Amino acid sequence: MIELVRPTVDLADSWWAMVDAFGDETIHGSSYRPSDREVLRDADAFGLWVDWLGHLERPGAHLPEGRVPSSNRWIVEDGKVVGTIAVRHELNAFLRATGGHIGYAVEPGSRRRGVARAALGLALALAARRGIEAVLVTCEEDNVASARTIEGAGGVLEDVNGGFRRYWVSTSSSPGRQGHGGGSAFEA
């Protein structure tokens, strides 16, 4: 069963196994920067980072310039972190162009099994609970698998710009939200 869970230090070992599985790939929707790897290997620093991820979704939270409020979740399958997903509550200029409301990544060993489809469906439900009626979801122009995932969730292509496909997905009628991952297995 696929679940979206809030980041927690309890899953630190599983998180790091997922990070290692990505190798040099960008982990979209994670708020993780490879340059922070050594710092975050310290358990106390990792705990502070997990707390910071929770801070990003608190109403009225003061955020650094360029950041928008967001709900960060880890994609968990059978107790193992297999990916990341972020639901951004609003868009800035950068997100309008390339990042969108929802960013996600699934580790290489968990791809082609419906994990992204299930996670995106759950994220759309989370966005709906946040009052977002339509979300922008983007992917790189040559990422056929992600394009299919977005289209399967009801994504309507707006354009291809700067190497990114930009889709709008309704959060109220998305077929990707129904019947995947065993129901509403995420925390709002």
* pLDDT, tens digit (0-9, with 9 covering 90-100), for 3-62: 999 999 999 999 999 999 999 888 998 999 888 899 999 999 999 999 999 999 988 888
Residue 186 or 16, more confident: 16
Cα distances from 47 to residues 33, 51, 54, in angstroms, run 16, 6, 11
* pLDDT greater than 50 at residue 123: yes
Where are the chain's structural domains? Answer: 2-177
Cα distances from 114 to residues 16, 33, 122, in angstroms, run 22, 26, 12
* Contacts of residue 78, Cβ cutoff 8 Å, sequence gap at least 6: 1
The answer to whether the beta carbons of residues 140 and 146 sit under 8 Å apart is: yes
pTM to 2 decimal places: 0.88
> Which CATH superfamily groups domain 2-177?
Gcn5-related N-acetyltransferase (GNAT) (3.40.630.30)
pLDDT of 12: 97
